[in-house]
Amino acid sequence: MRQRRRVELLNDNECDIRYHPGKENVVEDALSRKEQEKPLRVRALGLTIQTSLTDQIRNAQREALKDENLRREGLRGLERELIPKADEVMYFMNRIWVPRRGNLHELVMNEAHKSRYSIHPGSTKMYQDIKELYWWPNMKRDIAVYVGNIQYGEDIAVVPQRDCSPSWSTGVNYLG
């Protein structure tokens, strides 16, 4: 039935089917086309800056830059390279500087780790995500320590097997 309809369609229209053997067939299709440029890598999801977090960082930066608190930040002269932007937040190399005050390092790492899109990233992946937006001294080390100290307790359920089979069992439970 389908073939008949196709034949009728071809008969109704003037079609000229041409075959180009071998090397003469130079028209590229999508699969045989060579890559001309490297494809752009697009990040589908990334960290987003919450307004309240930005306010907390801005306030902590003001306190941290006071002379009596500056030494505790461990900037070792890098405070001269901090640049304020229009939102009055200090940036280091186009990334938000997160001071030690107010436990903000922990807050940023918690946000990055507990995002529903992250699926427990390792320290390298988490560092790559965080470093796009934030900066602080020894950030990579802090993230590695954070990821290493995560406790999973409730996430892993251990179900004991009922030992009703001989010792050579493959782990299949037999009820009996």
pLDDT by residue (tens digit) across 60-99?
999 988 888 888 888 888 888 899 998 899 999 999 999 9
Domain boundaries, the chain: 51-150
Q: Kindly write down the DSSP assignment for every residue of 16-32, as one continuous string.
A: ------GGG-----TTT
Residue 95: its H or E element: strand 95-97
Q: What is the pLDDT of residues 132-161, one digit of tens each?
A: 999 999 999 999 999 888 765 645 555 555
Which one is predicted more confidently, 131 or 43?
131
- C-alpha 42/C-alpha 164 separation (Å) is 53
Element (H, E) at 134: strand 134-135
User: What is the SS3 assignment for 153?
Assistant: helix
What pLDDT score was predicted for residue 77? 86
CATH class of 51-150: mainly alpha
For the chain, what is the mean pLDDT? 75
Neighbours of 151 (CB within 10 A): 6
* Average pLDDT of the segment spanning 31-41: 59
